[in-house]
Structure 1
Amino acid sequence: MAFSSTLFAITLVILYICSLTTSSIVTSDGTFSINLIHRDSIKSPFFDRSMTYSQRIGNTLQRSFINSKRAMNANPGPNNFQTDIIPAHGEFLMNISIGNPPHEVMAIADSGSDLTWIQCEPCIKCYQQKAKLFNPKNSSTYKSIPCESKICLVVSQLEKRCSRTKECRYSTSYSDGTVSDGIVASESVTIGDKVVPNIIFGCGFHNDGSFRDTWGGVVGLGGGDASLVSQLMALVPGKFSYCLIPFPEPDDLSEKSSKLTFGIQEFGPSFVSTPLVLLTPKTYYRVTFEGVSVNGQRFNVGNESNPSPIGNMIVDSGTTLTMLPTKVYNEVEAAIRNAVNLRTMKDPQKVLKLCYRATKVTKIPKVVMHFDGADVEFTRQNIFVTVSKHIMCLAMAPTDDLAVYGNLAQQNFMVGYDLEKNTMSFKQTDCEKL
């Protein structure tokens, strides 16, 4: 899911009860961590053994182009909490529990949306779901939100929407015509050993469209007031971070997971930070992208008379590729082509432009992303992505829309979001050792 959409897509996933539980770590300092499961991991309910590696990576790359359109249509309509979200395209999943007694759910962790919602009983129209639906009548902590309340205006954004019983309603519509509609409520949410009371979420009674039966909702990790991240600021400081393990190689079927941590996490030395730019809607995590260097040759977005627009890039854990402005992408591609200086190959998925036989590439150019106040140097796995057993391609693509810093660029980096100081930090890390 894009902005997913970072971040944290980061494109930060709720509702499938299964034996593949997501473990959490609760520390004495009040922080807590949870595993992020890549949707193409063997631990994911989306994992399809009938698909080849090339098919899985091809689908993942294609989702980047779909996700990159979301920010261009991000202004909510008068009756929508969030519009133009692409369903079931998030890259990471997470387990949380809703209600008392806890009802465990697995859903899309989406850094590009705010409202957390799940399917609920009694469902007027729901897509087929393998797991049992959440029944608010069975929970002692469920409370619907009156449409006269201030939080209803926050969720509905431009106008309050009331049910016949004066409960606050939400309606989320997606660009492919799918919808989720229901009641805004508060519930206790369990993340690891932490029980957080009075979390605002959507109880969906009308959900229709291109959903899968293993997918049950969304965990909103965006920057808006109704997101899970913002609501958790009452429990822990307004900080969260994640460390994304590399995308599995063709023969790698390990069950390793990435980590998402809420609260303060010490980065130690050798990290860099850039300001988070607050623009409307607050959902997306924006930074100011200035340019890219390849072996010391710098290609800037702007110039002295026309500098880079403030907040011109979204950091999204839910988008796979890094989407660069077309002019900058063309310059970067040409510079990498010259630096590698080998015969190119065709992408078997026909998605990416610059590809090589992987074993032939021994000289990796130095690629540095330049943000306002921060230079982030890439490693081989941030620059190239393996698309088959023998071919790897440049993990970037051109866009004429808003630029996106995708999750391949974030692999093996600790990425921290400080919503109190409005900064984002990066530090190279072996995420598999955390």
Structure 2
Amino acid sequence: MAMLSVFFSLLFILFFSYQPLIKLCVSGGKLVQDTQFQHVHSLDSLLPMPTCQSTTRPGIGRKYGAALIPSRGPCSPFPWGRDLSRGHSIGKSLAGTNPQKKPTRGGRGGSQVPIMRDGYQYLVQVRIGNPPHPLTLIMDTGSGITWTQCIPCPHDVLCQYYNQTNPFFKTTGSSTFSFKPNLHPYNIKYFDGSQSRGPMAQDTLIIGSPQAYHIPNFTFGCGQYSEGYFGTADGIFGLGAEGENAFLSQTSSTLGQTLCFCIPPTSSSIGHLFLGDDARTNCQTEGSSSTLLINDKKYIVNLYGITVGSQTINIANLDPSYPNQTLIDSGTAITRLPRLVYQKLRSAFREYMSKYPVIASSHDDDIMDTCYNLKDYTTVALPKIVLHFDRANVTLDPAGVVSLESKSRICLAFAENKFPDHEFNIMGSVQMRKLNVLFDVNARKVRFGRGSCG
């Protein structure tokens, strides 16, 4: 009897000591296994749906905030973006983003130019002028200038090469428009080689619908020559930090240099963007904040390590010369890391994924080099990945670990940083999926939390 009692006592201890390691929960109607070092997800739950799924947050894009829309997939406002097949891999859309190659001019049709620089961009619909002229702009936290192509254009031969979804903004058609001759023309170049230039101008800007944010006398760039990986977007909505003509600087008295966004997990769902008090009220964040460094109008945080499953990579231990400074850039899709850091992360990821069939890159200059064919599987066990920033540990959502647009191609969504003369790591938009990312520029803080988008 005593032996039986000891047996059941040991069984009781083993059972309850094991419980913290494995937990079963329901996520979106899918049974998900959550362990200490990995999560097992239904592949269908990670794939985009064939139709656009409206946001679960009431009022987004109607009473407050603005919708954050994927540039491709069923939610895209671009006809070619909606027509892209569900099985088209992000790897193919990234073909041509090799920094050694010269970018082509923006144009219609995803087959002729790389789609939106890195393939996954997020769009904000705004209106400018009086009467309001609709524009669909790429949200970019890596740059400060907002610009769109304007007409009349003194260099018609150059302007005609830029094809966008909406008509060019006609400066003579707005009663509140004026050029800013006292300001130097803008000339901005992006990491991928894309560029835009033209004079500075001023007009009324409305963000969200019907008038979530109404900004009179907003200074922006009137593009007269633009080329690169913009797809058919109407320009860039620059949300970079500081600078005289940066959006947050212009609206500091009303919006307090605070913004928060949540990037959706797939191309069939919509995220959101909040500004000012709306950001503090509607974006839930967790834990400590990380110190926000402002460098050349860019949001920078210090990244000290990465945990993949049970393995932690200490960046300084690999090479003290490697940068800790990491640019948070919604305009870049895939996170870029120093060579040895990426190789360590990739090696650890491959160990956890060793039971799955490996496939080769589909293109010579695919930046994602660790891919698998899971067409015969219904679930996938992904290692948990945690980014260790200064005073903030950020656990990525499974949608932020891999790129998955079909079961036959699932790739680790990280890459080696091969941009020439680039002194930062880059945290891209894929890794920000389903995270609330809140910037408080005045306090020099950035906070992360579980997002409710998608």
Fold-level match, TM-score > 0.5?
yes
1:229 corresponds to: 248
State whether residues 117 and 192 of structure 2, in contact with CA within 8 Å, keep that contact through their aligned partners in structure 1.
no
2:179 pairs with 1:144: yes
State whether residues 337 and 414 of structure 2, in contact with CA within 8 Å, keep that contact through their aligned partners in structure 1.
yes
Paired letter, 1:185: A
Secondary structure in 1 aligned to 2:77? coil
Secondary structure in 2 aligned to 1:146? coil
Identify the match of residue 345 of structure 1 among 344, 358, 369.
358
- Identity among equivalent positions (%) equals 28
Residues 184-199 of structure 1: pairs in structure 2 closer than 5 A:
184-192=200-208, 193=211, 194-199=213-218
2:272 pairs with 1:259: yes
Counterpart CA distance in 2 for 1:305 and 1:246 is 33
Paired letter, 1:404: I
Say which one has the larger Rg: 2
2:409 corresponds to: 391
Unaligned runs of at least 5 residues, structure 2: 1-58, 104-113
Once the two structures are superposed, what CA deviation does each residue of 1:291-310 show, in whole Å capped at 9, x if it has no partner?
A: 11123321111149948645
Paired letter, 1:229: L
1:52 corresponds to: 85
2:58 pairs with 1:36: no
- Pair 173,416 (structure 1): closer, same or farther in 2 beyond 3 Å: closer
Counterpart CA distance in 2 for 1:196 and 1:175 is 29
Counterpart CA distance in 2 for 1:44 and 1:376 is 31
1:333 corresponds to: 346
Counterpart CA distance in 2 for 1:270 and 1:210 is 37
Once the two structures are superposed, what CA deviation does each residue of 1:311-336 show, in whole Å capped at 9, x if it has no partner?
A: x2111112221112111111111122
2:310 pairs with 1:296: yes
> Deviation of residue 49 (structure 1)?
5.7
Once the two structures are superposed, what CA deviation does each residue of 1:350-371 show, in whole Å capped at 9, x if it has no partner?
A: 4322223432764332321111
Counterpart CA distance in 2 for 1:56 and 1:292 is 26
2:392 pairs with 1:374: yes
- Pair 308,374 (structure 1): closer, same or farther in 2 beyond 3 Å: farther
- Pair 172,381 (structure 1): closer, same or farther in 2 beyond 3 Å: closer
Counterpart CA distance in 2 for 1:412 and 1:223 is 22
State whether residues 117 and 228 of structure 2, in contact with CA within 8 Å, keep that contact through their aligned partners in structure 1.
no
Secondary structure in 2 aligned to 1:327? helix
2:246 pairs with 1:246: no
Paired letter, 1:131: N
Paired letter, 1:321: I
Unaligned runs of at least 5 residues, structure 1: 1-21, 27-31, 71-85, 157-168, 249-253
1:123 corresponds to: 153
State whether residues 270 and 453 of structure 2, in contact with CA within 8 Å, keep that contact through their aligned partners in structure 1.
no
Secondary structure in 2 aligned to 1:421? coil
State whether residues 289 and 308 of structure 1, in contact with CA within 8 Å, keep that contact through their aligned partners in structure 2.
no
Secondary structure in 2 aligned to 1:420? coil
Counterpart CA distance in 2 for 1:129 and 1:304 is 45
Residues 150-169 of structure 1: pairs in structure 2 closer than 5 A:
152=183, 156=184, 169=185
- Pair 304,336 (structure 1): closer, same or farther in 2 beyond 3 Å: closer
**How high is the TM-score relative to the length of structure 2?**
0.70
Identify the match of residue 183 of structure 1 among 184, 199, 223.
199
**How high is the TM-score relative to the length of structure 1?**
0.73
- Pair 214,428 (structure 1): closer, same or farther in 2 beyond 3 Å: same
State whether residues 116 and 218 of structure 1, in contact with CA within 8 Å, keep that contact through their aligned partners in structure 2.
yes
